[in-house]
Every structure is written in C-alpha cells, then in structure tokens.
C-alpha cells in the first residue's frame, strides 16, 4: 500500500497532491460530474451541466468562511488539477451536493462502528467503517500522510483529488462518517471539508466542534474518538445535530437516523439495505462485547451474509455500489489498519501516525 507524503502550507500540499495523482484525480472529478448530471436529469430532464456547476459554486462561500486553511488547500488543489472549484466541489462533496441539487436520496452509504474500552478485550477504543461508493471510485483510493506547517500531522484514507475522508492525527483524534439524507440540505460546508478541519484540530473538543457547529450542506453521521478513549457518534442534518447513545460501549451505524426527531427529517423511511447492514454488524460485534479484538472488527466489516452484506462484494459494473475500502483506527495506539480496496478481498495494512 503506497502512502503519499504531503508537507508544508495548504498550497504546497495541494500541489504535491496533484503531482502524485493528477490523472486519477481528474478522472474522479469528471466521473462524479457526469454522474451528478445523470442523477439530476432523473428529476429534471432539462438540467444542464452549467446549472450543475452553478449549484456547486453556491457551496463555495460557506467553505471560505468556515476554515481559511481548508479553503486555501481546496482552491489550490483545483488550480493544480486544472479543474474549476465548482467541478472539484462535486468531486469532493458528491453526496452532500446531490442532496442540495436534487432534494432526493443520494443513495450511497457505509457501515461504521465505535467500540470503547468497555467493549474491547484490551480496554482500548477502536472506530472503523467500510467506505461504500460506486465501483469506479475504487481504483482511485489513496492514503495520504500530511505534515502541515501550522497544525498536527495526520494520515487519511480518501480518493484522488479529495480532502480527508477517514483519518487519525498525531494528537490522537480519529474521525470518519457514513451518509445520511435529510430534507434540509442547503448551500453549506460539505462533509470532507469538515473532516479535514476536524483532523487539523489539536484536541477532542475542537474536533467535535468542527462538525457539530459547522454550517453544514447536508446530513451525515460522524464518529470522533480521542486519546483518552472517549468517543462519540454524531448524527446531523444541515442545521441540527445530536449524539447517539452507546449501550455497552458499542455503537454501529449505517445510513439511517437513530434519533427519532432527526429521523422525522429524513427524506425517506429507512430501507432494508441500511437496516440489514446495521443489524448484521451490530449482532456480530455485540455477541462479543467485552472481548472484542481487532480480528473480530475486521471480520465484522467483511460480513457477507444475505442480500445486504456489510462488506459489499466487488462488482463488474463501475456504476454499481460496492465497498471500495475500509479502515479501523485505535487513537490510543496511534494506529490505523487500512484496506485500500474492497475489504472482502484486500488485506488490512497497519499504519502508525
């Protein structure tokens, strides 16, 4: 597994990012722009790419106000990749962007867990997830080791041309997410920018604030874990957030709201896919509560029982959904275990921050 090193100012890291995966990043951006137009035309057949890009550009001001360093890196990355910031916005924040563009379900999702010391055999906290998306994204999975000149270093699993998706910083802050689709999507900050800012944080409260109090574009579930082992699962809409209970130190989350008040803001009732994946992983891990090991967690993310497996299998059609990658993180050990491909067929590689 290749780890790409980025160092320096936001602009310098953006240029290094582009140099390392220029063609891959441009391909990823182009594919997502094409997919956004296709999705949008399912609702409005007269939709043009110009209108798609206009909607994407309406998200930019919120990012400039939210975090200067993240905005600088994003804009420099667009320049280095020779794409417009509006195109890069679709490439980075596709699920949030689709929520804003169509006001309909974006349809992609992942399965995640938090297991605190109460649930694990070694008394340490672990967080992890699959990352599920259209299969065309899988060849573009990348691992970056960032060393900014104005904050903590961190390792992130993401895709070419994108900000942070799942990561751990040297202050032992871990962050990841799954997708949710509320009705209150609006021009605001996309989820990758929020995770990027959280990983820039020096401590756990600051990382939580970067998510809980952001002017969000749409809804996601986020998990944040700390060096003490404290961890939290946060459900969000664009305007509202809540913390999810964690019985027995274990929380499993897919792509539906657990909180009933936020669930009332969802665009649709939870479907069989998300309910089944959540139940499958929760049942497997909860049977082992108090004795959970890393091997159990890896096995859980690879579960392939029934019609809606946790580790969604490889597919031939690049536009079908699959598990493109997976990661497990222990902030107290400063370690990540990353499968930069389908976790049912790819080994997990240990990385230390």
pLDDT in tens, 278-307: 999 999 999 999 999 999 999 999 998 888
pLDDT in tens, 19-41: 999 999 999 999 999 999 999 99
- CATH architecture under which domain 112-352 falls: 4-Layer Sandwich (3.60)
Q: Do residues 233 and 99 lie in contact, with contact meaning Cβ atoms separated by under 8 Å?
A: no
pLDDT at residue 312 tops 70: yes
State the pLDDT at residue 108: 62
pLDDT at residue 186 tops 90: yes
Could you tell me what percent of the chain has a pLDDT over 90? Answer: 92
pLDDT in tens, 28-87: 999 999 999 999 999 899 999 999 999 999 999 999 999 999 999 999 999 999 999 999
Sign of CA dihedral 196, 199, 202, 204: positive
Question: So where are the chain's domains?
Answer: 9-102, 112-352
Q: How sure is the predictor about 107, in pLDDT bands with cuts at 50, 70 and 90?
A: low
Q: How sure is the predictor about 109, in pLDDT bands with cuts at 50, 70 and 90?
A: confident
pLDDT in tens, 256-281: 999 999 999 998 899 999 999 999 99
State the pLDDT at residue 165: 97
Residue with more model confidence, 53 or 107: 53
State the pLDDT at residue 104: 75
């Amino acid at each position: 597994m290749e780890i790409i090193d980025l160092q320096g100012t936001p602009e310098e890291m953006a240029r290094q990012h582009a140099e390392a995966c220029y063609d891959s990043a441009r391909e990823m951006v182009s594919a997502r722009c094409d997919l956004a137009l296709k999705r949008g035309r399912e609702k409005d057949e007269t939709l043009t790419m110009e209108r798609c890009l206009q909607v994407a550009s309406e998200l930019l001001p919120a990012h400039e106000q939210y975090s200067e360093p993240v905005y600088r890196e994003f804009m420099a990355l667009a320049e280095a990749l020779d794409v417009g910031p509006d195109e890069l916005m679709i490439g980075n924040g596709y699920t949030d962007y689709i929520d804003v563009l169509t006001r309909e379900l974006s349809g992609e999702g992942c399965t995640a867990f938090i297991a605190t010391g109460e649930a694990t055999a070694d008394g340490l906290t672990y967080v992890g997830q699959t990352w599920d998306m259209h299969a065309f994204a899988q060849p573009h999975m990348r691992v970056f080791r960032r060393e900014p000149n104005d904050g903590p270093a961190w390792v992130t699993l993401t895709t070419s041309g994108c900000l942070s998706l799942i990561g751990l910083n040297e202050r032992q802050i871990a962050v990841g997410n799954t997708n949710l689709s509320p009705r209150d999507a609006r021009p605001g900050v996309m989820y990758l920018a929020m995770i990027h800012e959280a990983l820039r944080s020096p401590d756990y409260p600051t990382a939580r604030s970067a998510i809980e109090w952001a002017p969000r574009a749409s809804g996601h579930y986020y998990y944040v874990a700390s060096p003490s082992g404290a961890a939290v699962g946060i459900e969000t809409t664009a305007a509202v957030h809540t913390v999810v209970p964690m019985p027995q130190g274990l929380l499993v989350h897919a792509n539906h709201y657990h909180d009933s008040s936020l669930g009332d803001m969802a665009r649709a009732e939870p479907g069989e896919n998300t309910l089944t994946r959540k139940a499958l992983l929760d049942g497997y891990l909860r049977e082992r509560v108090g004795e959970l090991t890393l091997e159990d967690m890896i096995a859980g993310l690879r579960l392939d029982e029934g019609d809606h497996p946790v580790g969604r299998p490889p597919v031939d059609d690049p536009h079908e959904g699959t598990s493109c990658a997976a990661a497990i993180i222990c902030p107290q050990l400063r370690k990540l275990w990353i499968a930069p491909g389908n976790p049912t067929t790819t080994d997990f590689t240990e990385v230390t921050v």
